[in-house]
Structure 1
Amino acid sequence: MPSDARILIVDDHEDTLYALESALAPLGYRLGRATSGDEALKQVLRGQVGLLLLDVRMPAVSGLDVVRYMRRVEQTQHIPVILLTGFGPDHDLTTAAFALGVADLLMKPIDPWALRTKVRYLFDTHQRHVALEHEVRALRALVKDHGDHGDHRDHGDHRDHTEADEPPRRPALPHPDTRVPLQRAQGAHNGKLEQDRT
């Protein structure tokens, strides 16, 4: 995850946005805000969002609508989402939320300590996951580039192509155990000689 990744807080009430920003400020992460589901989607699609703190009930585009759209788009489908609701326990909402892969569903008023604990874990885990994906892609590109260079060697002379141009199938150095059977056999033979001499 790039260092400028941020947590996006989405709620249509200004006082809730302010309270959530105050609760998360001690973590030291970059924070962004949106006041509607539509605005949240636009920011998420621009990139650099590492976690979404999302109110469920908002006018026009609800929190669940935002998550449904995010899960259909490759670049956003793995961003962790914490849904917030102020309407108490709701079995249908809980079922729908977790079916969409929401990381957690919290009831308002939010306990700041619990919120910080969940956010820190989810955000840092997602950062590590994305950083690992970047490393894997870079390694694959490096291997592919190396393979492409190998394929462009002199194809005019085909006599030694299969042996000389293909990458070695085995390591250049012998396996550590390759000589062990010979040494044991030699030792056993020497032992037999010693017995024969006696």
Structure 2
Amino acid sequence: MALVTERAKILMVDDRPENLLALEAILGSLDLDLVRASSGDEALRALLKDDFALILLDAQMPGMDGFETATRIKRRTRTKDVPIIFLTAVDKDLSSSYRGYVAGGADYLAKPFDPWILRAKVQVFVDLWHAGRVQAAQAALLRDRSDPKVAGSLRARLSVLDEAVDALAVELEEVGPGGVAALERVRREIEALRDAVSGLSVVPAAAPDHDAGNVSAR
């Protein structure tokens, strides 16, 4: 179950070092592995090497901007489901937030943003990521069908996971719309896993005892 305790990696993308430093100061007290990228190209390279729970992406960067970077991230099979929060100084142009959502962004924050709001949003996505890791660990247990205790153990863990997802749903309502799609993906996967566990619980019918049924006609 090492996956459950694994630290979530957060990719921070901004061309200004002072902004990256500010993000580290805001998120430093959370138990996260913070990774820096100073350009879209550098972010794409980082995503080839590691798996990330969340990307904090500056929309306005020279060269490849955040919108183009996000579009490329969403085209890759490996990274298409990684949630992205856009961070931008453009807060008066409504088309910027629209472009962010079209590019695949899960949320959008205008600078200067409230550090507590950012922390809360990041924590929700990290919690969703941990729920997904727990779910993956449960799925791995399904490979061992020889242990009769597996189904009971998985059902108990699924109940705990259901409670955690319900709690996250409440947090999402308080924080904002970001992450709703990710939460629904987790719910669908939980239901698929529950169906698989139900399959483990089916006990094959015993073969009829032909000898017992052979009554002498004499």
Q: TM-score, normalised by structure 1?
A: 0.66
1:97 aligns to what SS in structure 2?
Answer: helix
Aligned counterparts, 1:14-25, within 5 A: 14-25=17-28
Is it true that 1:171 corresponds to 2:203 in the alignment? yes
Count of residue correspondences: 147
Is it true that 1:109 corresponds to 2:112 in the alignment? yes
C-alpha separation in 1, matches of 2:141 and 2:31: 32
Which of 66, 70, 76 is residue 69 of structure 2 equivalent to? 66
Which of 21, 27, 31 is residue 30 of structure 2 equivalent to? 27
CA pair 140-60 structure 1, distance change in 2 beyond 3 A: farther
State the superposition RMSD in angstroms. Answer: 2.2
Contact 1:79 1:126 in 2 (8 A): no
Is it true that 1:13 corresponds to 2:13 in the alignment? no
* Cα drift, residue 109 of structure 1: 1.0
The aligned amino acid for 1:110 is F
C-alpha separation in 2, matches of 1:139 and 1:99: 37
Is it true that 1:119 corresponds to 2:151 in the alignment? no
The corresponding residue for 2:83 is 80
Contact 2:57 2:87 in 1 (8 A): yes
**4+ runs deviating over 6 angstroms:** none
CA pair 118-12 structure 1, distance change in 2 beyond 3 A: same
Contact 2:54 2:84 in 1 (8 A): yes
Q: TM-score, normalised by structure 2?
A: 0.61
State the identity as a percent.
Answer: 35
* Cα drift, residue 75 of structure 1: 1.1
C-alpha separation in 1, matches of 2:42 and 2:96: 22
C-alpha separation in 2, matches of 1:141 and 1:64: 40
Q: Deviations over 1:141-183 (max 9, x none)?
A: 557xxxxxxxxxxxxxxxxxxxxxxxxxx63469xxxxxxxxx
Q: Gaps (5+ residues) in structure 2?
A: 146-201, 207-218
1:66 aligns to what SS in structure 2?
Answer: helix
C-alpha separation in 2, matches of 1:130 and 1:65: 29
Is it true that 1:54 corresponds to 2:57 in the alignment? yes
Q: Deviations over 1:172-196 (max 9, x none)?
A: 469xxxxxxxxxxxxxxxxxxxxxx
Answer with 1 or 2: which has the greater Rg.
1
* Cα drift, residue 10 of structure 1: 0.8
C-alpha separation in 1, matches of 2:112 and 2:142: 46
* Cα drift, residue 96 of structure 1: 2.0
